Amino acid sequence: MRILVLGGDGYLGWPTAIHLSAAGHDVAVSDNFVRRRYDEELGVESLTPIATLDERVSTWAELTGKTLKSYVGDLCDARFVHAMVADFRPETIVHFGQQRSAPYSMIDQAHAVYTQTNNVVGNLNLLYAIADIDRDIHLVKLGTMGEYGTPNIDIEEGWIEINHKGRSDRVMYPKRPGSFYHLSKVHDSHNIEFACRIWGLRATDLNQGVVYGVDTETTKLDPRLATRFDYDGVFGTVLNRMVIQAVLGYPLTVYGTGGQTRGLINLVDTVECIRISAESPADPGEFRVFNQFTEHMSVRQIADTIAADYPGPCTIEEIENPRVEAEQHYYKAAHTALVDLGLVPTLLSDTLIDHLFAVVEQHQDRVDQAAIMPTVRWRETSSELVRSK
């Protein structure tokens, strides 16, 4: 199958691209490298050294003989998107190419506007390119579990049957997300569902939980194939951050009381979920939603698990929550669709955490401790109107 991976230079996009290539697909990657520019803007860098996309692609060809075509450009540039899709003629497009940090989107007005423009416009350009060039292309779009928020009822996989005043309907599950980033994904979901309905496009929206982990079978083949690993207060996700904090002897930063519960997924399962979704496409006109996580834990449970596993001293500190979010809430979310299609979950284990400790120990001299504490506060607004490039 011909698969185009957008955001193919990112944390998840790169390992997915080579996972799909290793599985025998004809893969192309696309990116505008803006993620590397956020690092420059914030003065941070990935814990793991990462090669350029050109070096990654040539290393993959050297090791496997497989060629990955690459397209460098901005998804907000409609002409670029159209030309790329017309040139590669993919059967599946996997869309990872967005600004994905909730704190980044909450820095100030300029970052909120940038995030929603980048994400919503890029996705719309893609929908138009698919509609114009080949409506049979299957769009596999990365959404997020955070689209749902933390409702006081069970979370279903994208759709819910509602009975209201004696009548019933199947409607998109109500959304109540917790950041302007998460909201951008809600807007995307609605735009995609609309495109499926009016143009007959086929799409799978993957509402993914928080990803942790640093390598897969393919990235481990050579250090030049390594993917990024973020730990800073803006881009680092909770479990990855806490592993680094443990190794550095830094208290694990639980925001508030830590009762907030999130779906989690290991990087090796992320890349498998994408393969499974691509190989079992949605039907024409279908807007299909899968909840892509394998287990759920509260932030406090994550901290307790890491502290218990760390061989040295490790403390946990509840710090003032910089976000506005429920710290105690009901959480029961369905996540059976991907398992039904064949996913065999890789659950968090001491072995996995120990491996992460070892990776961090290898690169700990690259950590900037000043970048660990959170700096972005949800309640604060700033009138900074232009985002520095």
Q: Which of 7, 97, 209, 213 binds ligand USQ (CB under 6 A)?
A: 209
46 part of the interface to ligand NAD, by CB under 6 A: no
Catalytic residue among 104, 185, 250, 294: 185
Q: 306 touches which of ligand NAD, ligand USQ, none (CB within 5 to 8 A by kind)? A: none
192 part of the interface to ligand NAD, by CB under 6 A: no
Q: How far apart are CA 93 and CA 80, in angstroms?
A: 15
Q: Which part of the chain contacts ligand USQ (CB under 6 A), choosing from 78-86, 198-206, 214-222, 257-265?
A: 257-265
Q: Which of 4, 34, 303, 359 binds ligand NAD (CB under 6 A)?
A: 34
Catalytic residue among 92, 144, 218, 237: 144
74 part of the interface to ligand NAD, by CB under 6 A: yes
99 part of the interface to ligand USQ, by CB under 6 A: no
Q: How far apart are CA 20 and CA 17, in angstroms?
A: 5
Q: Look-up: residue for tokens 């998804």? A: 75
Interface characters, 233-272, with ligand NAD (x: CB under 6 A): ----x-----------------------------------
Identify each DSSP E strand in 183-342 by its residue range: 202-208, 210-212, 252-255, 261-266, 287-292, 295-298, 316-319
Q: Which part of the chain contacts ligand USQ (CB under 6 A), choosing from 26-34, 99-107, 149-157, 309-317?
A: 99-107
Q: How far apart are CA 213 and CA 267, in angstroms?
A: 5
Q: 367 touches which of ligand NAD, ligand USQ, none (CB within 5 to 8 A by kind)? A: none
- Residue (250 or 293) nearer to ligand NAD, CB: 293
Residue 228 contacts residue 166 (beta carbons within 8 Å): no
363: helix, strand or coil:
helix
Is 185 catalytic? The answer is yes
Using alpha carbons, list the distances in angstroms from residue 5 to 38, 81, 90.
20, 12, 10
CB of 114 to ligand NAD, least distance (A): 10
DSSP string, 74-126: -TT-HHHHHHHHHHH--SEEEE--S---HHHHTS-HHHHHHHHHHHHHHHHHH
144 part of the interface to ligand USQ, by CB under 6 A: yes
335 part of the interface to ligand USQ, by CB under 6 A: no
Provide CB contacts within 8 A for 17, sequence distance 6+. 5, 8, 27, 29, 68
Side-chain-side CA neighbours of 326 within 13 Å: the count stands at: 14
Q: 274 touches which of ligand NAD, ligand USQ, none (CB within 5 to 8 A by kind)? A: none
For residue 81, with 0-12 CB atoms within 10 Å meaning exposed, 13-18 middle and 19 or more buried, which class applies?
buried
Catalytic residue among 38, 114, 173, 181: 181
Q: Which amino acid is at 66?
A: K
- Residue (13 or 90) nearer to ligand USQ, CB: 13
Residue ranges that bind ligand USQ, judged by CB under 6 A: 100-102, 144-146, 182, 209-210, 237-238, 241, 253-255, 260, 262-263, 299, 323, 325
Q: Which residues are catalytic?
A: 144, 181, 185
Residue ranges that bind ligand NAD, judged by CB under 6 A: 7, 9-13, 31-35, 74-76, 96-100, 118, 122, 142, 144, 208, 210-211, 228, 237
